[in-house]
């Protein structure tokens, strides 16, 4: 069972304990959930279980109409006045009652608590009483007329008067019997408010004898000064209706009464005073006050609890809590003190003051705990410090008494505050206006509030430690990262250089063992053949071919060495850019390519709308053109090599480029190899005589220019018709 459920059920138990009235509890659908013993007896059932089987429509009625639940709930939940209705007993008898209801919540269940009081035929008795009194008054007024009538009739005067006396006595007896048969106090007052008639029940209610009560003014029983009855209450507004107010008995005890008041007229219809009934409802009022007090306590505790659910500001939540508690307990000041157990001091950290009360927080900082020896002993013993009257504090509390009186404190209530299991301070209420005992409910409120605030402060302490630990961890992590970064920076650089150098060495090793080996093997084979053919005139043509082959292989070797040098230069140094005229470099590359291949015819064509064009590049642009053209001639089996160079302009992503397309009629490149040919060390085919170093160099140079290179089919969809190498370089 949750704490809230326990508190709610404790409230219901308190209602049953304190209230002398009839208590019925039901839900909003009319199902009966509980009732007190008084109601069980009145309804005539043997046990609570018999009534729980019923609904409220089975035991209630109002206005002699069919029972309609929503209308009934609206009537009893009207706080401005009590509602009159009937309880139906097991034997179907109707018992008139008046009462009210209020909504409440137990866990997730919404209920209505219905509190009512039996009317006891009050109105019927009052009506009969007033009729008899009226008849008696009329009879008294007409006695002289009766005497004259008797004389005029010449009857036996004595006999008639005796008979009239008997009638008068019977009327008086009937009137007195009615007065004494009711428990309510009956009273009559004149227009000035003086008592002129009353019954014994009124004497019992007020604690006066009949002799003491005769002629007393109504102000004797009320906290009213020189006000007339008409000023105290609007007679026309409440004529014949019930209302409640406070009276003071002879022994100065205060009681609550319910009264009805009506105008009194003489036989001529002239107003001569007021009359009415008074019923002592102190027990019911006290029960209602206790119930309302408990309800208010529940609301305040709920408010305080909600303040500390993920609060944005703990100090603000504590201040608001102190305000709620202070107002509910009618305190002048509520406060929170926190101990500094190392310095043995205490500080008033939070304070709420009622209107007109001087704040003391700033004056209560850094107070030595030694100034409060009696106080500290009680707190360390986990005792509540309850001082109804500061002036009556014991001698051992002289130091505390002096300090409290300096602050004009008349009474106070204090509870120790624990954060976790450690006594960390106290929370309390001061009253600077009056002395007096604190209600038991104040102890309950303060105790719960102290626990709530203590738990909240513990949570704040934990959150702060977690936040500090988290920040320390972040700082430590940053420090470690910096140390690691500092210590490993050189190692990383060394490792990177090592891997780069290692890859470079392996690449050059493969290059030398493969391409250079192929070149040397070709030259060696050519040398062996030329040694055989040199003395045979018939082999002269073959000998020329062999010498051309040797010459091409030497050129190939030179080209390979140059590419290696260029590639190494690009990887380890930054060659600055400068304005380069594209066409001069292109013409030089064409001449170099033609000299390298003299055994076959090469047709070069340039398609360009302009004759000169400058870009930001460097001398490596020549290597780009030469490698692309050599690649187009090397992988071409046609007797006549056709190379078309198309030049145009292109704009891409807001940048202007020079576009060069190299279209050949070579063997072409399949789609799965188009991207691979630009990778360093890529071998085009097993039978290939080169490793594609030239195209990887081209890729490296073009990328350095912030340009791009790729290859497409000369004829879309048929790579065997030749290739189209496309280069774009940003304009100058």
pTM over 0.75: no
d(CA 425, CA 338): 4
More confident: 353 or 474: 353
Number of Cβ atoms within 10 Å of the Cβ of 516: 14
Mean pLDDT of 501-515: 61
Q: Are 689 and 652 in contact (CB under 8 A)?
A: no
pLDDT digits (tens, 9 = 90+) for 523-558: 777 777 776 766 666 666 776 677 777 777 777 677
Confidence tier at 687 by pLDDT (50, 70, 90): very low
Confidence tier at 378 by pLDDT (50, 70, 90): very high
Two domains, one topology: 3-120 and 123-288 = yes
d(CA 31, CA 151): 73
**653: helix, coil or strand?**
coil
pLDDT digits (tens, 9 = 90+) for 550-569: 777 777 677 667 766 666 66
Confidence tier at 224 by pLDDT (50, 70, 90): low
Name the region of 670 (left: φ>0; alpha: ψ -120 to 50; beta: rest).
Answer: beta
DSSP strands (E only) in 395-507 = 411-419, 422-431
CATH, domain 574-730, list 3.40.50.620, 3.10.450.50, 3.40.630.10, 3.30.565.10: 3.30.565.10
DSSP string, 254-288: EEEEEEEEEEEE-TTS-EEEEEEEEEE-HHHHHHH
More confident: 633 or 230: 633
Mean pLDDT of 494-505: 67
More confident: 618 or 344: 344
Q: Is the pLDDT of residue 497 over 70?
A: no
Q: Are 408 and 382 in contact (CB under 8 A)?
A: no
Q: Is the pLDDT of residue 691 over 90?
A: no
Q: Is the pLDDT of residue 122 over 80?
A: no
Task: Please provide the CATH number assigned to the domain covering 308-438.
Answer: 3.30.450.40
Confidence tier at 586 by pLDDT (50, 70, 90): very high
Number of Cβ atoms within 10 Å of the Cβ of 60: 21
Q: CATH fold of 3-120, please?
A: Beta-Lactamase (3.30.450)
Domain layout of the chain by residue ranges: 3-120, 123-288, 308-438, 574-730
Query: What pLDDT score does 682 carry?
Result: 46
Query: What pLDDT score does 295 carry?
Result: 78
- The set of residues, in sequence order, having a beta carbon less than 8 Å from that of 505 and lying 6+ positions away, is none
d(CA 272, CA 266): 7
pLDDT digits (tens, 9 = 90+) for 305-323: 888 888 888 899 999 989 9
Q: Is the pLDDT of residue 414 over 80?
A: yes
**695: helix, coil or strand?**
helix
Q: Is the pLDDT of residue 97 over 90?
A: no
d(CA 258, CA 270): 27
The proportion of the chain whose per-residue pLDDT surpasses 90, expressed as a percent, equals 17
Query: What pLDDT score does 149 carry?
Result: 47
Query: What pLDDT score does 210 carry?
Result: 86
- The set of residues, in sequence order, having a beta carbon less than 8 Å from that of 416 and lying 6+ positions away, is 379, 382, 383, 423, 425, 426, 450
Task: Please provide the CATH number assigned to the domain covering 123-288.
Answer: 3.30.450.20
Q: Is the pLDDT of residue 207 over 60?
A: yes
Cα dihedral angle (217, 227, 81, 252), rounded to 10 degrees? -50
More confident: 491 or 337: 337
Query: What pLDDT score does 182 carry?
Result: 66
Mean pLDDT of 570-596: 79
Confidence tier at 603 by pLDDT (50, 70, 90): very high
Alpha-carbon distance values, 499 to 451, 485, 486 (Å): 66, 20, 21
Find which of 102-116, 130-144, 304-318 is predicted with most confidence, using mean pLDDT. 304-318
Question: Residue 472, exposed/middle/buried by CB under 10 A (0-12, 13-18, 19+)?
Answer: exposed
Confidence tier at 3 by pLDDT (50, 70, 90): very low
Confidence tier at 447 by pLDDT (50, 70, 90): confident
More confident: 390 or 137: 390
Q: For strand 411-419 and strand 271-280, is the pairing parallel, antiparallel, or unpaired?
A: unpaired
Number of Cβ atoms within 10 Å of the Cβ of 365: 11
Q: Is the pLDDT of residue 366 over 90?
A: yes
More confident: 58 or 508: 58
Query: What pLDDT score does 160 carry?
Result: 47
Number of Cβ atoms within 10 Å of the Cβ of 567: 22
β-bridge mates for residue 109, sequence order: 106
Confidence tier at 225 by pLDDT (50, 70, 90): very low
d(CA 474, CA 464): 15
**How big, in percent rounded to 5, are the helix, strand and coil portions of the chain?**
50, 25, 25
**192: helix, coil or strand?**
coil
More confident: 501 or 695: 695
Phi, then psi, of 121 in degrees rounded to 5:
50, 35
Q: What is the mean pLDDT of the chain?
A: 78
DSSP string, 453-476: HHHHHHHHHHHHHHHHHHHHHHHH
d(CA 212, CA 108): 57
């Amino acid at each position: 069972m949750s704490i809230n459920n326990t508190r709610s059920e404790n409230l219901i138990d308190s209602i049953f304990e304190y209230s002398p009235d009839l208590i019925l509890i039901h839900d909003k659908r009319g199902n009966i959930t509980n009732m007190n013993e008084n109601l069980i007896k009145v309804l005539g059932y043997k046990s609570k279980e018999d009534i729980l089987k019923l609904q409220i429509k089975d035991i209630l009625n109002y206005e002699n109409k069919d029972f309609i639940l929503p209308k009934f709930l609206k009537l009893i939940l009207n706080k401005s006045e009590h509602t009159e209705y009937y309880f139906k007993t097991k034997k179907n008898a109707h018992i008139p009652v008046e009462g009210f209801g209020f909504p409440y919540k137990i866990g997730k269940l919404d209920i209505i608590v219905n509190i009512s009081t039996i009317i006891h035929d009050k109105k019927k008795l009052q009506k009969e009483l007033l009729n008899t009194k009226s008849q008696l008054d009329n009879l008294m007024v007409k006695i002289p007329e009766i005497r004259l009538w008797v004389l005029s009739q010449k009857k036996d005067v004595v006999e008639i008067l005796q008979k009239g006396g008997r009638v008068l006595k019977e009327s008086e007896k009937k009137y007195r019997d009615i007065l004494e048969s009711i428990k309510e106090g009956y009273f009559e007052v004149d227009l000035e408010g003086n008592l002129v008639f009353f019954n014994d029940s009124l004497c019992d209610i007020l604690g006066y004898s009949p002799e003491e009560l005769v002629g007393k003014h109504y102000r004797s029983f009320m906290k009213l000064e020189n006000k007339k009855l008409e000023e105290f209450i609007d007679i026309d507004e409440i004529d014949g209706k019930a209302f409640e107010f406070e009276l003071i008995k002879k022994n100065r005890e205060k009681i609550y009464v319910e009264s009805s008041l009506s105008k009194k007229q003489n036989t001529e219809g002239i107003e001569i005073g007021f009359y009415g009934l008074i019923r002592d409802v102190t027990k019911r009022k006290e029960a209602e006050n206790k119930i309302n007090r408990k309800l208010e306590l529940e609301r305040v505790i709920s408010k305080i609890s909600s303040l500390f659910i993920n609060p944005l500001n703990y100090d603000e939540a504590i201040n608001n809590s102190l305000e709620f508690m202070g107002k509910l307990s009618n305190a002048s000041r509520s406060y929170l003190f926190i101990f500094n157990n190392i310095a043995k001091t205490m500080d008033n950290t939070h304070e709420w003051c009622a209107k007109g009360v001087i704040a003391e927080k700033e004056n209560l900082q850094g107070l030595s705990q030694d100034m409060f020896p009696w106080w500290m002993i009680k707190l360390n013993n986990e005792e509540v410090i309850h001082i109804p009257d500061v002036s009556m504090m014991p001698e051992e509390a002289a130091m505390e008494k002096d300090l409290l009186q300096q602050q004009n404190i008349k009474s106070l209530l204090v509870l120790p505050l624990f954060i976790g299991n450690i006594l960390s301070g106290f929370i309390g209420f001061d009253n600077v206006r009056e002395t007096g005992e604190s209600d038991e409910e104040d102890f309950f409120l303060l105790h719960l509030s102290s626990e709530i605030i203590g738990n909240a402060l513990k949570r704040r302490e934990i959150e702060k430690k977690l936040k500090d630990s988290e920040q320390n961890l972040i700082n430590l992590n940053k420090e470690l990262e910096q140390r690691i970064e500092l210590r490993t920076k050189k190692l990383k650089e060394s490792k990177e250089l090592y891997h780069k150098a290692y890859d470079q060495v392996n690449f050059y090793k493969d290059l030398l063992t493969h391409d250079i080996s192929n070149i040397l093997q070709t030259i060696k084979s050519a040398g062996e053949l030329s040694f055989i053919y040199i003395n045979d005139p018939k082999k002269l043509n073959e000998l020329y071919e062999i010498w051309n082959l040797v010459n091409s292989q030497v050129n190939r070797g030179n080209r390979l060495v140059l590419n290696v040098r260029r590639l190494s230069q690009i990887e380890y140094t930054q060659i600055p850019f400068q304005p380069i005229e594209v066409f001069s470099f292109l013409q030089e590359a064409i001449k170099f390519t033609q000299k390298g291949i003299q055994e076959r015819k090469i047709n070069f064509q340039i398609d360009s709308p302009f004759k000169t064009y400058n870009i930001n590049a460097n001398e490596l642009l020549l290597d780009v053109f030469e490698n692309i053209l050599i690649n187009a001639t090397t992988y071409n089996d046609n007797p006549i090599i056709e190379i078309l160079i198309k030049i145009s302009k292109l704009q891409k992503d807001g940048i202007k480029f020079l576009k060069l397309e190299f279209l050949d009629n070579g063997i072409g490149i399949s789609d799965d190899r188009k991207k691979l040919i630009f990778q360093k060390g890529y071998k085009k085919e097993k039978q290939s005589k080169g490793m594609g170093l030239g195209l990887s160099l081209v890729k490296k140079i073009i990328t350095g220019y912030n340009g791009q290179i790729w290859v497409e089919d000369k004829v879309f969809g048929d790579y065997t018709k030749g290739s189209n190498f496309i280069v774009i370089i940003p304009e100058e």
